[in-house]
Amino acid sequence: MRAYPSSRKAGLSGLILCLATWSSLAEEIVASDFLDMSLEQLLNVRVISASITEVNFIDAPSNVLVITKEMIRRRGYRNLVDVLQDLPGYDFGMYHESGESTSSSVVRGLGEKDGDNPKLLVLVDSVPQNNISLNSVALLSHEQQLHDVERVEIIQGPGSSIYGAQAYAGIIHIITKQEFTGFRGDVLVGENKSREITFHYGEVFQDDVFFSLAMKKFDTDGDEGKGRPDPGGYYHGNAVPETLTQHYDENGNYLENIGNPNAGEMIPDGYSNWFDTLTLRAKITSPNNEVELFYWNDEHGMSTSLTGFEYYANAPEYLVHRRGYHIYAKNSWHLDEKWTLRSKATYRETLVMPDTAFSYTYRFDGIPKSASSASSQLSIEERLDYNYSNQGALILGYRVMRSSKSEYFYSIGRTQDIDSSIADSSWNIAVAGGGLNQVEPIHQVSVFEHAFFGLWNHNWNERHLSSIGLRYENSEEYGEVFTPRLAHVFKRGDWVLKAPAGTAFRQPTFSELYFDGVGNPDLSPEKVATYELESN
């Protein structure tokens, strides 16, 4: 039995106990732990995020931080928030919170003061994880799993020349284990009925085909805000208002400023901050092929995103429910010793489920307001790698992508179908007094995008390395964008000097483009250019 110290890890406060651990992994028996590596060994850790092809950490033409699987195990990281709080440049206004946003992050001063950061790109095995319509990051907290991860590569600064939109302030690239065999399982328990179960199973077939399956289940009742400071009285000592500003009676008649049937009743103190999340990753790899499925489902209470005197913030039936998954297939075709053609097809979805809902204390008594959004994306990428010598490589690629996007649509009640293009009970019509169960089209768009990209990496000699990259994006939403990059690395003994210069862009969100009365369909992407000098 292992005991972790009192920690914020996985949102489990107080003492966390590992009740059971099973392991039969050959990879656990390593010659040296990462923390015992020499400086030379550390500098030779292989990374891929900054230059697409594998290079030594010290040769990466970007400001890169690497969290290895040994560091994840040693530090007890349970999710990305735990990782990022240990790194320079990342700040959180909130984390592991329930509510509409579970984390509010700023990367090197760039991001959102509230809500998930649309200027940070999160990748899992090169697949973007940001919400397709909102651009926001959704996988920093409990809905991410790390127990089947080989390493996490973190780029500080722009990366759009390689990865396109949202690689603005930084990139977090989760790279999972490729050739895993054996079985490992953990059970963690903590305060407030907090539980986390993880397992990772892997097997090899025909000597070179590997299958793995990893799962994480986390749930907690939360502390319901009990014992927390509340000097503003947002969640304690509040009564139901005397008046309902808007309401529909049992006959569907619209009423204004009527007596509240619950007037004067004390609203229960605290708020709802329970979590129930599930993640699942299945993977098949061979020397030239790879298929992966990653699925996550996150349900949690509304918590501090809603004030207790205005909403029923502690009612367990009101929740946030988000879901997503991706599936991809890769193929590498080695034409000869120098030329390799790499193909990849990816399909993914990001969903806000229609049982996401909350209820007001002062209007529409007993009738919740629900939210939903459904987005999907299909992309196909072809890449040609030319390794012309031991000193360098030229990479050329083309990607086409079709995205189906939807507004963050509000309904009155919980009857909405997530796959429908028509709302069967419009909130906007109900608020205007137009009645319940009124249909309204949901604003959806289908967007075609294509991109050309090229990257040239060259080692001039033992001391000098250069990298030049250029990406051209063309989207039906925001037009053309060019994102060049230039970097030079100079090494002398144990001293390394990196001089990267890069550009990046964040594409407009669905709301910024199309929201009624506010959106601007002609809005251009937000762009940034950086010039850096890094000495190690």
Chain segment 353-365, per-residue pLDDT in tens: 999 999 999 999 9
Coil vs helix vs strand at 491: strand
CA distance 393 to 429: 59
Burial class (CB in 10 A: 0-12, 13-18, 19+), 471: buried
CA distance 451 to 456: 17
Q: What's the average model confidence in pLDDT over 224-249?
A: 90
pLDDT at 6 > cutoff 50: no
Nearest residue to 503 (alpha-carbon basis) of 477, 525, 476, 479? 525
Coil vs helix vs strand at 250: coil
Share of residues in the chain with pLDDT > 90 (%): 52
Beta bridge partners of 213: 201, 282
**In the numeric block, which tokens belong to residue 335?**
């034409």
DSSP 120-156: EEEEETTEE-S-TTT-----SSTT---TTEEEEEEEE
Query: What is the average pLDDT score of the chain?
Result: 86
CA distance 343 to 331: 5
How do residues 379-411 score in pLDDT, each as one tens digit?
999 999 999 998 999 999 999 999 999 988 899
Q: Which amino acid is present at 528? A: V
CA distance 308 to 331: 53
How do residues 250-294 score in pLDDT, each as one tens digit?
888 999 999 999 998 999 898 888 999 999 999 999 999 999 999
Nearest residue to 428 (alpha-carbon basis) of 439, 420, 414? 439
**In the numeric block, which tokens belong to residue 175?**
């790279």
Q: What's the average model confidence in pLDDT over 335-360?
A: 94
pLDDT given at position 418: 85
- Cα Rg of the chain (Å, integer): 25
- CB of 109 within 8 A of CB of 170? no
Q: Which residue has the tokens 């012309």?
A: 388
Confidence of residue 25 (pLDDT cuts 50, 70, 90): very low
CA distance 93 to 112: 9
pLDDT at 110 > cutoff 90: no
**In the numeric block, which tokens belong to residue 182?**
């054996």
Beta bridge partners of 211: 203, 284
Q: What's the average model confidence in pLDDT over 327-334?
A: 97
pLDDT given at position 30: 37
pLDDT at 44 > cutoff 80: no
Q: What's the average model confidence in pLDDT over 478-491?
A: 94
pLDDT given at position 306: 80
Nearest residue to 394 (alpha-carbon basis) of 52, 45, 49? 52
**In the numeric block, which tokens belong to residue 500?**
């990267």
Q: What is the pTM of this model?
A: 0.89
CA distance 91 to 415: 38
- CB of 503 within 8 A of CB of 484? yes
- CB of 257 within 8 A of CB of 247? no
Per the model's pLDDT, the better-predicted residue between 416 and 362 turns out to be 362
Coil vs helix vs strand at 300: strand
Nearest residue to 429 (alpha-carbon basis) of 441, 414, 419, 420? 441
pLDDT given at position 112: 65
Q: What's the average model confidence in pLDDT over 414-428?
A: 85
On whether the 2-535 domain is CATH 2.40.170, my answer is yes
